[in-house]
Structures are given as structure tokens and as C-alpha cells.
């Protein structure tokens, strides 16, 4: 009798805990749609944690370069990625600014993984099923308690298909390239590459990300499409906060 009562209390407690878990917000979209800055602002407006899953793929590309593993060698990349996860050699840590810092082999690589060559490499390594499989549980572990905004390419389709709120954030290739170019120019005073090269890179990554065989970039069923081509950052974030408030 006491056992049955205890069991029903545990079940009721679990129900309350399950139903009151804070929402998971998934944001997917092409390169340069402003996902990172928007996800960070949205997370801060909601009091949620921001998880930039692209940083994981970028870190794998950097780790491969450091270890002399080719970006085309799926099995070797899979072994390397599993090793990074199992040994906690790849960590996303919250930073004081509300974003996150990325630590690889104990070093802060937050800025290094944004370099042009690593950006290209991240798209290549992310096409390998071995790499995606090795990063899947890590992403699910980080997000499962809810109260998170996860951004990437397959969050709403593969990582958390049952997320309470799913966004597909997009903008025209030209405006995405313009924003990325301006961002690079503002950071270093002069852009590393020309606007035309940035646009070519954006288009090339769109093809790679949408046409790869595994977990291609797709709008998830039930996703809310936000086209930020003609919207400011503030307008975009405000529109998304309103959608989360309505859905969650």
C-alpha cells in the first residue's frame, strides 16, 4: 500500500516536472541569416541558455586541422569527434556576455573557429554521418532540460524534432553576404576577403548544406518561417519573442 502510494507520488511528481519543463526553442536556417546574434538575443530576452551548435562542427574542423586529419575522411573524423566528446576535449562554456566560449583541448578557440578557412572546413566535416552521429547525443544532453535556444541546421528536423517552438530563419543570399562582409570589416578594419568572395562562399555553403545526403538543411514540419531580409535585428527578435510567448 505504502509502496503503491509512493509510486503514485513519484509518477505525479514526474508528470508535473515533465509538463513544466521550460520549452526548447530550435532555430535553423542558412549561413549568415543572423542566427547566432538573434539566438543569443532571443535567449537573453527569454532568460534561456543559448547553444550554438555550429561551433561544434567548426571545432571539429579545427581539431582535424591540428591533428592532420583530412576534412574528407569521414571515418577518421568520426573517431576524432568521438574522442573529443568522450574526453571532454570540446566544451561550450557560458560567457559573461551571455554568449558562450568554445574550449578545445583546453584552449579558448572562440575566435579561431570563425576564420574563413575553418568556416569552409566546418561545412565539409558536417557532411559526414560519422561526425553528425558523434555530436548528436552531446547536443541532446545540453538541451534536454529545456530553457534553451539551440541554433543550427538540423535542430528542428533531427536533434529536437519535438521542440515546442521551431523557427526557420532565412534571408536572401545577397543580404546574408552583405551582413557577413560588414561584420568582418567592422572587426578587423579591413575585410579578409571581398564582398563577391563572401557571396560566392555563402552560395557554396548553401549548396553543401542543403544538398548533403545526411541531415540536409530543411524547414522542419511545423516550423515558423522568419525572413529577415527586410527586417532589423530588433524587429526580428521581437517577432520571435512574441511567437514563443504564444506557442510555449
- Binding residues (CB under 6 A) for ligand DC: these are 31, 53-54, 57-58, 122-123, 126, 152-155, 205, 209
Closest CA to 175 of 31, 55, 26, 27: 31
CB of residue 28 vs ligand DC: minimum separation in angstroms? 7
Separation between Cα atoms, residue 115 and residue 6, nearest integer Å: 56
- Residue placing its CB nearer to ligand DC in the complex, 130 or 209: 209
CB of residue 205 vs ligand DC: minimum separation in angstroms? 5
Separation between Cα atoms, residue 117 and residue 65, nearest integer Å: 10
Separation between Cα atoms, residue 166 and residue 56, nearest integer Å: 20
CB of residue 88 vs ligand DC: minimum separation in angstroms? 20
- Residue placing its CB nearer to ligand DC in the complex, 55 or 244: 55
CB of residue 5 vs ligand DC: minimum separation in angstroms? 45
- Residue placing its CB nearer to ligand DC in the complex, 110 or 126: 126
Query: Do 59 and 113 contact (CB within 8 A), yes or no?
Result: yes
- Residue placing its CB nearer to ligand DC in the complex, 58 or 179: 58
- Residue placing its CB nearer to ligand DC in the complex, 115 or 164: 115
- Residue placing its CB nearer to ligand DC in the complex, 62 or 155: 155
Strand-pair partners of 28: 152, 168
Cell of 238: 521581437
Residue 218's region, left for phi above 0, alpha for psi from -120 to 50, else beta, is: beta
Separation between Cα atoms, residue 22 and residue 28, nearest integer Å: 20
CB of residue 131 vs ligand DC: minimum separation in angstroms? 9
CB of residue 1 vs ligand DC: minimum separation in angstroms? 50
- Residue placing its CB nearer to ligand DC in the complex, 14 or 222: 222
- Across the chain, where does the E strand assignment appear? 24-28, 49-52, 90-94, 100-104, 107-108, 148-152, 165-170, 224-227
CB of residue 103 vs ligand DC: minimum separation in angstroms? 16
Cell of 35: 542566427
Bridge-based pairing of strands 49-52 and 148-152 is: parallel
Amino acid at each position: 500500500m505504502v509502496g503503491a502510494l509512493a509510486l503514485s507520488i513519484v509518477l505525479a511528481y514526474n508528470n508535473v516536472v515533465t509538463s513544466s519543463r521550460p520549452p526548447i526553442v530550435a532555430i535553423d536556417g542558412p549561413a549568415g541569416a543572423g542566427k547566432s546574434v538573434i539566438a543569443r538575443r532571443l535567449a537573453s530576452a527569454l532568460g534561456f541558455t543559448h547553444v550554438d551548435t555550429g561551433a561544434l562542427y567548426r571545432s571539429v574542423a579545427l581539431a582535424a586541422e591540428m591533428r592532420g586529419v583530412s576534412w574528407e575522411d569521414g571515418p577518421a573524423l568520426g573517431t576524432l569527434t568521438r574522442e573529443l566528446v568522450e574526453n571532454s576535449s570540446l566544451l561550450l562554456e557560458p560567457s559573461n556576455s551571455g554568449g558562450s566560449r568554445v574550449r578545445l583541448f583546453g584552449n579558448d578557440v572562440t575566435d579561431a573557429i570563425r576564420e574563413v578557412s575553418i568556416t569552409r572546413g566546418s561545412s565539409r566535416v558536417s557532411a559526414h554521418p560519422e561526425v553528425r552521429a558523434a555530436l548528436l547525443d552531446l547536443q541532446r544532453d545540453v538541451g534536454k532540460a529545456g530553457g534553451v535556444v539551440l541554433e543550427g541546421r538540423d535542430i528542428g528536423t533531427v536533434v529536437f524534432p519535438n521542440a515546442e517552438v521551431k523557427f526557420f530563419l532565412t534571408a536572401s543570399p545577397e543580404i546574408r553576404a552583405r551582413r557577413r562582409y560588414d561584420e568582418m570589416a567592422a572587426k578587423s578594419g579591413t575585410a579578409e576577403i571581398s564582398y563577391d568572395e563572401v557571396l560566392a562562399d555563402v552560395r557554396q555553403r548553401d549548396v553543401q548544406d542543403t544538398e548533403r545526403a545526411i541531415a540536409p538543411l530543411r524547414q522542419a514540419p511545423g516550423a515558423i518561417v522568419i525572413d529577415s531580409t527586410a527586417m532589423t535585428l530588433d524587429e526580428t527578435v521581437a517577432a520571435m519573442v512574441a511567437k514563443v510567448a504564444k506557442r510555449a
